[in-house]
Amino acid sequence: MRTDDATYYDVVIVGSGFGGLAAARRLRGRGETALLISSTPEHLFQPLLYQVATGGLGREDIAPRTDTLLRRHRNVEVVEGVVTAVDAMPAVLTYRADGRDHRVHYGSLIAATGAAQSYFGRDEYADRTFALKTIDDATRLRAHLRACFDAPVDDAAATTFVVVGAGATGVEVAGQIAELARRHERREVAITLVEGLDDVLPAFGGGLSEYSRRALEKSGVEVLTGSMVTDISDGVVTVNVNDGAATRKIATDTVVWSAGVSASDFAGVLAEATGCYTDRAGRLLVNDDLTVGGVANIYAIGDMTSLRGYPGQSPVAMQQGRHAVDIITRKRAPGSVFHYRDKGSMSIISRGRAVAKLTERITFRGLMAFVAWLGVHLYYLAGVGNRAKAVVAWVRSFVGSARPGFDEVVEAPRPEPARIAG
């Protein structure tokens, strides 16, 4: 059923990430008609974007089409479009697709549009750095890395890399660039990882953070904690080191920005429509049952929300998506409080090195954590075919020294210093 003016759906889901897909799948067999609206045609496995960027996996391995994944869910229709307005009282949503506006009436609305990159008030950095939030971000960085490694040996800026933010993404990017240089390209490179807090992977803390730092340094990554990037211009990154003890200037063609997130633009649309408060990052301060503001039939989940300090991770979004659907379909009572079941966190550093934290007392590191990381990510990767391709690619990358994702780079552009020019 193609949408047209005044079409009604029992449930409208906005966003095709982990939360949106989990909600759509939860609706299977429950009788409700549903429409999923996404600004992109694919479901993106965002935690593996850095693997595409560093050539470990191909683009399609982590970004299958959403309508393909939901092809057996006959009650769910998928459209590509951008939601432009929500009128909460008559429960009408407007989205733009195919060059025109469409209006949809809904019984319940689930917003799951995720987060965008935050530059802490320095929005000009967006044009001077590489982010890793979309599949296009990953393929742009991959082509750039290919060009950097193809640059002349005496081009120091081309093989100098700065990664900002030592959370999971920053650590994984820095570790994989080091491994790419050492095992695949056999090039000498300089990699600097900059983190404002005092620990690498601060969410893990303690021994796991210390292990991660040592593993990165053993891989050849310079780690600067308690340090802040104060300027990026004219091909130079300025770093305030050790809380102002020194200043470093690093000439580079490549800055990967993985520090900070802000809510998607749709969070602002919902805040205005429902009167919901937001935090400083623009995230919706949702109610305990995931409803937004004072509106009982609008739910928001995942990275676009803030609730009891839950982390911005895919398991949170998926559990929230299922919880919202269970309330909508009366498998749970209206107003049921959402409680996150924390199954732990993992982060890979390099081949054979990873950290895992299941509880405060149950942690492990090294090869065991690396194998567990592979298994967990294979389990959650959408599509049997994609899992099989990932296994083959990881064997080639981690057992051998190939980087199959680079086969997709037809013509890599030369590094563009203008990208980080002021």
Query: Would you name the residues annotated as active-site residues?
Result: 172
> In 3D, which of 338, 258, 334, 269 has the Cα closest to residue 306?
338
Single-letter residue type at 363: T
Q: How deeply is 121 buried, as exposed, middle or buried, from its count of CB atoms within 10 A (0-12, 13-18, 19+)? A: exposed
Residue 135 near residue 340 (C-beta atoms within 8 A): no
Distance CA 166, CA 228 (A): 12
Distance CA 54, CA 139 (A): 9
302 φ, ψ (degrees, to nearest 5)? 80, -155
Distance CA 353, CA 103 (A): 50
User: CA 175, 179, 182, 185 torsion: positive or negative?
Assistant: negative
From first CA to last CA, the distance across the chain in angstroms is: 50
Single-letter residue type at 215: A
* Packed helices 18-26 and 314-328: angle between N→C axes, nearest 10 degrees: 30
What is the greatest pairwise CA distance in the chain?
66
34 φ, ψ (degrees, to nearest 5)? -140, 150
Distance CA 188, CA 162 (A): 15
